[in-house]
Structure 1
Amino acid sequence: MAVDPTATTASPASAAKQKAVDAYLGMWRDVAAVATTSDWQSPRLAEHATGDALSVLARQLYADHYNGVVSKGAPANSPVAQSVDSQYEPKTVVIRDCSDASTWLKYRTDNGKPADDEPGGKHLIHAEVKLAVDGSWRVTRFAVERTGSC
């Protein structure tokens, strides 16, 4: 098979950034799916999150479960990999996202009505994604800023 001389292989840093963004988006897809039942014990949460990130997600979902609240919809994310710790052997990627949660809202399980009068909105999120020992990328921590922060 002939090799295309114009084809380029992604640098280790570029590949890491893409894998980190994929893991970050996977985490939010997992959370949106699990939040429909507020199942804080779902093993799906650990597929793309670990450490502090996993702990925060599980605690929030437990609080929602305890308070009789579920979420409907999903956030619209637009992550950008801002930095990588090494160009040649990357292990950590920092992501910045302006997440739109206006279609991802909380509802009461007892009557199906909105849990509050908050309209949702855009939130600035900073996240750290690390290479795990098994070769996967997982979000290790994140911070969500107030509504309207981006």
Structure 2
Amino acid sequence: MSGWAVTGLTGLVLLAACTPDDPATVASGQSTAAPAPSTAASTSPSPTDEDKAKQDALTAYRAMWEDFVQAGTTSDWQSPKLGNHATGLALTNLSRGLYADHYNGLVTKGQPILNPTVSSAEPAGDPVKIIVSDCGDSSNWLKYRADNGQLADDEPGGRHAINAIVEKQADGSWKVTDYGVHDAGTC
């Protein structure tokens, strides 16, 4: 059993609604437009608002999972860190997953491997909503019994398709507002 806090219907809706653009272009954050010719010394162009939003959304997504990993080591479903990078349904699902583990005497050990990319950004130019697609690997992030340290079951982790909505908050921060984790082997 992997460490993901799995959601059902939400993830299926997100998967159906998201069609990734060219991952190489999206993941690199590079603009395809050529820089204007200049006679002055070449300097790196400043990132556009859209590029910055994409980076901020990916940072928030990764940080949400890191907060969850840390809380999972003790199944601390009340960890105040969970709300640093997640809100709404995402925060509810993280907390519920940890509460279920706490109730069942389980903790999570290890670290997932994330590989997120931006699938879409709305509105174009100055986004406030970013859709993130990922293929997270939980092979080294598994559940253990808290009382004896033994694996909770003999189910290996694996690669899970993950879709997330990351939105700009009123204070300017970015937080994951919803996500869906699919079964192992879905990517």
Structure 1 unaligned residues grouped into runs of 5+: none
Aligned residue among 32, 38, 55 for 1:18: 55
SS state at 1:43 partner: coil
Which runs of structure 2 are paired with 1:34-45 in the superposition (5 Å)? 34-45=71-82
Comparing 3-12 and 131-140, the one that deviates more = 3-12
SS state at 2:81 partner: helix
Aligned residue among 83, 93, 111 for 1:46: 83
The two structures have a TM-score, normalised by structure 2, of 0.77
| 4+ residue runs over 4 A deviation | none
**1:119 — aligned with what?**
156
The answer as to whether partners of 1:13 and 1:86 remain within 8 angstroms in 2 is no
**1:4, CA displacement in angstroms?**
5.7
Going from structure 1 to structure 2, the CA distance change for 1:7 and 1:66 (only over 3 Å counts) comes to: same
- Alignment: residue pair count: 148
C-alpha distance in 1 between matches for 2:123 and 2:109: 38
User: Which residue identity lines up with residue 104 of structure 2 in the other structure?
Assistant: N
CA offsets per residue over residues 109-129 of structure 1, 9 Å max, x none?
111100111110000000000
Larger-Rg structure: 2
Structure 2 unaligned residues grouped into runs of 5+: 1-39
User: Which residue identity lines up with residue 46 of structure 1 in the other structure?
Assistant: G
Aligned residue among 176, 180, 185 for 1:139: 176
**1:7 — aligned with what?**
44
Identical columns (%):
50
**2:144 — aligned with what?**
107
C-alpha distance in 2 between matches for 1:12 and 1:4: 24
